Amino acid sequence: MSVSREHRGRGLARALCREVLGFARARGYGAVVLSTSAVQVAAQRLYEGQGFRRVGTSYPSLLGTALNFQIFHYRCELADGN
């Protein structure tokens, strides 16, 4: 998910995230999973604020490992009302 720079700060990403969670919940899914990079701190805050919890970390490639470029994996459980 991405919102262009000129539209950031208006709550669009938060609304999109809520819509995805509602869509999945209404269709009986138990969880939503996603990944984001370690450098996308604003995205991490958004996801954590919407009930996502970090469940893992990986590296996208050997070069990513050498550069310590991490990918964070998140999960939001839907059954408990998050």
Strand ranges in the chain using DSSP code E only, listed in sequence order: 31-37, 53-58, 71-77
Mean pLDDT of the chain: 91
pLDDT-based confidence at residue 82 (cuts at 50, 70, 90): very low
Pick the CATH number of 5-77 from 3.40.630.30, 3.30.420.40, 3.30.70.100, 3.40.30.10: 3.40.630.30
Helices 41-49 and 12-26, interaxial angle, to 10°?
A: 50
Enclosing H/E stretch for 9: none
Q: Is 63 helix (H, G, I), strand (E, B) or coil?
A: helix
Could you tell me the residue ranges of all domains in the chain?
5-77
Global model pTM greater than 0.95: no
